[in-house]
Structure 1
Amino acid sequence: MLTGGSTVPGQELARRLGVSGRTLRRDVETLRDLGYAVEPVKGAGGGYRLGRGGALPPLVLDEEQVVAVVVALQTTSSALRGIEGAARRALSTIRQVVPRRLRLDADAFAVTALPNQWEFPAPAPETDLVRAVGAAVRQRVGLRLDYEGDDGSPASRVLEPHHLVVWAARWYLVAHDTGRGCWDVLRLDRVTRPEATGVPFAARELPGGPAALVQRTPDRGDRLAPWPCTGSAVLAVPAELVARFAPGGAVVRALDGARCELSMGAWSWIGLAGLFTTFGSPLSDVRPVELRQACALAARHLSAGAGGAVSPAP
C-alpha cells in the first residue's frame, strides 16, 4: 500500500486494512518504534509515506517474533535432516530485511544446537520425506507408502494421512486405515517411498485430538534407544497409560487390558531401576540379570531412606 514514496491518506489506509483510525495510528507508531521507515505527513492531503529507502520489506516482525524465528532457524537441524543450508540462508534473509535495531536482537541470539547424546535420541527425518507427507496431509489426499516393520522388512500401505505430530523429538504420522477401519500411528522415520494417490478423502473426527492419540498408543513404531544399559519388565499397568509416560526411546507392548511389557534404557543400571519404580507397579519377568540386581540395590536404598533395616549387600 505504501509504495513509490507517495503519501496515502490515513482514512484510505484504515479502510483498506479494515481497522479504525486509532488502531492505524497505534500500528504505525509500533512500526516506527521498531525502526521501520513510516513517516506521518500532516496538513491537507496528509497521511503516511515511506521514508528512507522508499519501501517496506516483505516481512515485518517485532522483537519477540525476530527472536522466535532466529532461534528456530538455528535449532531446526535437530528436528529435520538436510535443512541446514536452507536455514542459514533464511537467517541471512531475515537479517537483511529487518531494521538495524531488530538486527541487533537477532545477533544477540547466536545459538549452537548440539544433539543430546542420551536424552530422547531419535533420527531426524529427511526434509523431502516431511514435505511429501505434509503435502498429502494438507491436500487431504490418500498416501501410498512403505512402512518398515519390527523385523526390518517394508510393507506397502495406503492410508488417509490426517496429521503430523512431533513429540519427544520424534515425528509421527496420524492416519486412518480405511481397510481396517481404524486410526493408526506411524513413526515417520520408518516411512519410505511416500506417494500421493490423488484420491481425496473427507476429514474425520478424532476424539481427543492427534496428540492425545500418539501419546496413548503403545504400538506407535518406537524403537528401543541405544542407551548403555537397557532392560525390560512386566508392569501391572495398562499399556495406554505406560505409553503416555514412558521416556523417549522406550517400547511398550500390551499383554492384556491390565498388564504390559516395558523396555527402556538409561545411563546406568541403578538409573534404569529407578525409572521402572516411577510407575509404582510390582515388577515381574525383569531382564537382564543386571537390572534385577540393580532393582535389589534400589530396594535397599529406598528402605534405608524410609528408615527400614538395610540388609547387607550380596
Structure 2
Amino acid sequence: MTTTERLLNLLSLLQTRRDWPGSLLATRLDVSDRTVRRDIDRLREMGYSIQATMGPDGGYRLDAGSELPPLLLDDDQALAVAIALRAAPAIGAGIEEAAIRALGTMRQVMPARLRYRLDALEITTIGRAGDATPGDVSLDVLVALAQTIRDRQVLRFDYTPRVAAQSEVGEPLQARRVEPHHLVTSHGRWYLVGWDLDREDWRIYSVDRIHTRMPHGARFTPRAVPGGDVNDFVSARFKGSDVNEWACRGTVLLHLPARDVLPFAGDGTVTAIDDQTCTLEGGSWSWGSLAASYGRFEVPMEVIDPPELATAFAILSERYSATSANSLPRD
C-alpha cells in the first residue's frame, strides 16, 4: 500500500472500535509497530485526536478533537448522511441552508457511483421528522425505488399485508405492479406513492413492507398526482379524505397553559387566553375521535364549537361510564 492508502485504512480501523492495541493494528496493516506509530503521528498532524492507551499491549484511541478533521465514510454511511441532509427541512431549527451546503460539499467529493445513486433520491417530506419510530427500511430498497422513479420504470414488488406485518403468522405476499412517482417521508416513516396498474388507482405503500423484484418493468409516462401536489395528496389520504382537510374540526378551551399544550398539539392551533388557559383548534376524521384526542390532556375543558363536538363528548362519556361499570374485578 502507498502511504495514503495505509493512512486511510488506519483511520477506517480506528473508527470501528474504541481501543486498538498497536500490535493488532500493525498486523491488520501488515506493517511494523514503528510504522504504525509514524502513521498515528501523521494523522495527529492532520487534526485527528488520537490518544495513546495504557496497558500490557499499549494502543490507540480515536477521540473527539478541537477541530473537525476530514471524515472517512463508507458508501452506505455517505448515502445515509446525504439522505438525512435532504430530509433536514422537516426538522426545522433553521438548519435548512446549512444542510443544503453540506449536501453540496458531500456530492462534490463523492465518486460517480455514489453521485448516481444520490441523484436518484428525490424526497417529499410531510410533517416533522422523528415524531414516530421509523420502520425497518433498507437503504438498498430506498435507492432501488428512487432509481425506478427517476428512470420511469414500472416497479414489481411483493407487499407484506398489514395483518401479516403485525402478527407472527405469515400470510402470502401480495404481488404488485406499480408506476412509482414519489418517495415520501412522514413522521419518521417512508412511503412510496404510485399508480397501481392492477387496481387502477393511486396507492400509498409503506416502504418497510416492500420486497422488490427483478427485473423492473417497462418504461411509462408519468401521470399527474390527484390535485397536482404530492404533499397535499398524501396528507389528505392520511386524514381519510380526498382533500387535505380534516372532515371534522372543533375548538375547546383547555384549563392548561399554552406552553404545556403546544408540544402535543400536532397540527392543531393553540391560542393563549391567559397564563392558565388556552384554546386548541384541531381536526380528525370523526367527531368521536376528535373528542377522544382532547382527552389526552386530562384537564377540565369546555367546548367552544361546534355542537357536534359537544355531542361527541356526551356519547364518549356514556361509553366510558359503561366500560368502567362493566370492567371485570381483579382477584
The TM-score normalised by the length of structure 2 is 0.37
TM norm structure 1: 0.39
Structure with the larger helix share:
2
